[in-house]
Amino acid sequence: MNWSAILPVFMLAGSNLVMNVAWYGHLKAPSRALWLAVLLSWGLAFFEYCLAVPANRLGAKSWSLAQLKTIQELCSLGGFIIVAWLLFGLKPGWNQMAGFALILAGAALIFKGPLG
């Protein structure tokens, strides 16, 4: 198992889960002051960067930049689904799942390489 290729994926997944909480978690307490929501989100973003920056450094040894960005976007989407479901009880509907499937198909093209 090539950990230098796999570890960045787990790190990006973790960083995006944290970032989705930073982006959307404050919506659970809309009565709190906006400045406090921003401050708390920035605090969470610090920990997100502590995972994302090393993940990209390590990942650049095994993945192209386009592949790393694609992995990051897929992790962000997965993190969003988890946060929306667990924090807000929002299960994705069929149309959202179909849209996510199209995004996944687009991502597969990034990893396929040149066609033809």
Say if residues 70 and 111 touch (Cβ distance below 8 Å): yes
Q: What is the dihedral of CA 77, 30, 89, 15, to 10 degrees?
A: 30
For the stretch 62-114, pLDDT in tens is: 999 999 999 999 999 999 999 999 999 999 999 999 999 999 999 999 988 77
- Going by C-alpha positions, the residue among 44, 26, 47, 46 that lies closest to residue 35 is 26
Say if residues 60 and 68 touch (Cβ distance below 8 Å): yes
For the stretch 20-50, pLDDT in tens is: 999 999 999 999 999 999 999 999 999 999 9
Q: Is the pLDDT of residue 1 over 90?
A: no
Token pair 């990034």: residue = 110
Residues of the chain with pLDDT > 90: what percent? 90
